[in-house]
Structure 1
Amino acid sequence: MALDFINKFFKWGYGPNNGPSSWGKFFPIAESGCRQSPIDVIDSETQEDSNLQPVDTSYGPGEEYKLENTGASWQLHLWPKDTRLIGGPLRGTFHGFQMHAHWGSEPGFGSEHTLNGHAFDAEIHIVHYNSKYPNPGEAIDKPDGLAVLGILVKTGREHPHFNVIAKSLKNVHDSGSTHILEENFDPSLLLPQNRNYYTYPGSLTTPPLFESVTWILFCTPIELSPAQIQEMRKLTTGCAHEKCLVNNFRPPTQLKGRTIRKFKQ
């Protein structure tokens, strides 16, 4: 079924009538796919792999990034030519083109991936495309097209660098609104100090759910303050009654025989 036809008659989201449990009606891969994401990572069942490399990132000066409320999350648009992701489980160079987040309405849930059945309060994704393809649009449905850095978030201390985004979210309160950041922003400063990670072949966690993502999920969460997370919860979806944008996460999917590898320094 053509995506433009689907988008015309089905606006996916996270509500009772258009949320993850209904996505399979229009995106059959949600149920029939063999490498869907997110997943629950059971640490005792992962395989430590000495062939994996550390993750190496560079995001350039980070000037004049555009922040957007997509109605499903906030999204920060990166300058791909200034960015580079290499190492880890990846072959070749990947370029970052956007980052966004998923979060709950209150502490205790909100992340998409879970660790040993434990959910975190939010999860940040930095999305990259394989440089063998000319642009993200060409890469998005290819098996090796995308690589996503997943950063788990728990409530705790204020994160100084995330404040660049947190204090700008008031400027994109409504769905469809955009804002140019007034300060430079470096996504690598959000990565945890401990760079151990899990990696597995997966998919986009939102429609069209293409199975094109190499996931690199850091083992150690970062902390954001209650106030910083609350700024995300204040965003609205653009749907009826301007509902707050919360609980915008897909629950874990079945592993279906995949191997989760672990990098440990």
Structure 2
Amino acid sequence: MHVAGASSFPLSSSHGVKCSSCCVSFLMETLSVLLMTFFTISHGYTPYRRFNTYNAGQRLRLCTSVSKSSFGYKMFASNGPLRWHVISPCCRGGKQSPVHLTTLGAACGQPYTLTYRQPQATCVSSVTYNDGQTASMTFPKGRLSLYDVPHREGSRFTLGEIHYHAGITEDTGSEHWVEDTGYGAEIHLVHYNRKYSGITEATAKRDGLVVIAVLIQEARTTPNSQLRRYVRLVSRLKANDAKLKASMRPLRLLPRSKEFFMYEGSLTSPPCSESVLWLVMRYPLQLSARGLEMLRNLPLKNGQVLATYTNVRPGQELNNRLVETNFPCLDRLGIFNSPHI
């Protein structure tokens, strides 16, 4: 690895031994690791790796929407996750989602917030339907807007859809993992840039989408009333049901703690367009085992239920992307399963 600014001619050590540029590179890399370890232990934070930087010139894979019926989640099927790149070339990109998240190597303690112009108690009309892969809840255009999004300055993002992913056990249903921990399910709040007509157009734009991911942890009860309401709506859906209309307070699906991980990524299903800024909430919501079972039993058009093959995409390589947090990385043990509702 070439180190920027390093001399290209041989250097001499204190013992008179010549040190090549490779040696210098090795010494500098070792020094950076030692410094990172020192700051992590003594100052309570982790400086991000110097190769984890945003590269505006990096080529993104941006694809348009594909039919839900063209892909599935049976791992080794001809239309399964291992062959999604045949359905959409974007699924073989270098900035794919989901990923496993950790504070190790992250840029911690950034001054980022979640800013909605509307209060959390805002009630809006919604339509929930079974799209054959999940239960999607849609909202009227422009009712709920996200402002001051990091790396998207000057743009406003509208909440257009909520959907979920679920597995078959309490730790295989979340697409994102946090500090080597998986969860029973994961809810996605999909926002699109207001300068585009909707999610479909925004999917193919590099600044098109912001998705807030909320992890769902199995527990004895479900304290969050809006999560209970969403699950009840899902339980009423059949494979060929008409759309269900209901009023919702979707911003109350966010955990009380607004701490999150952030990274640049993609849609987690075809077309896998790399147009998503991900905000993954640090702490999960709690949902009862019965509630998780309702999510898993969503009927699909082929007569099976969602849990047969799940709708969870396997984790993707981070590929040196920058991960940021809006919280300081102070405690590295036992904090990520704390219940924050």
Question: Is TM (by shorter chain) over 0.5?
Answer: yes
1:61 aligns with 2:123: yes
What secondary structure does 2:124 align onto?
coil
User: Residues 118 and 211 (structure 1 numbering): CA distance in 2 closer, same or farther, change over 3 Å?
Assistant: same
1:94 aligns with 2:157: yes
How far is the alpha carbon of 1:175 from its aligned partner? 5.2
Residues 196 and 262, structure 1, Cα contact 8 Å, conserved in 2: yes
Alignment counterpart, residue 36 of structure 1, candidates 92, 96, 103: 96
1:188 aligns with 2:284: no
Mapped partners of 1:134, 1:243: distance in 2 = 34
Residues 162 and 189, structure 2, Cα contact 8 Å, conserved in 1: yes
Alignment counterpart, residue 135 of structure 2, candidates 68, 71, 74: 74
1:244 aligned residue: 305
How far is the alpha carbon of 1:235 from its aligned partner? 1.0
Question: Which structure carries more strand by proportion?
Answer: 1
2:180 aligned residue: 117
Correspondences of 1:148-159 after superposition (within 5 Å):
148-156=211-219, 157-158=221-222, 159=224
Residues 153 and 222, structure 1, Cα contact 8 Å, conserved in 2: yes
How far is the alpha carbon of 1:179 from its aligned partner? 1.2
What amino acid sits opposite 1:108 in the alignment? D
1:15 aligns with 2:74: yes
What secondary structure does 1:162 align onto?
helix
Residues 71 and 176, structure 1, Cα contact 8 Å, conserved in 2: no
Residues 71 and 175, structure 1, Cα contact 8 Å, conserved in 2: no
Tell me whether 127-136 or 94-103 shows the greater mean CA deviation.
Answer: 127-136
Cα RMSD for the two superposed structures: 2.1
Residues 70 and 175, structure 1, Cα contact 8 Å, conserved in 2: no
What secondary structure does 2:169 align onto?
coil
Bigger relative contact order, structure 1 or 2 (CA pairs below 8 A, ≥6 apart): 1
Residues 160 and 198, structure 2, Cα contact 8 Å, conserved in 1: no
Mapped partners of 2:263, 2:301: distance in 1 = 34
What amino acid sits opposite 2:73 in the alignment? Y
User: If the length of structure 1 is used for normalisation, what is the TM-score?
Assistant: 0.89
1:227 aligns with 2:286: no
Mapped partners of 1:12, 1:118: distance in 2 = 27
Larger radius of gyration: 2
Identity %: 27
Cα deviation 1:173-217 (Å, max 9, x = unaligned): 215642112xx2111111111111111111110100111001111
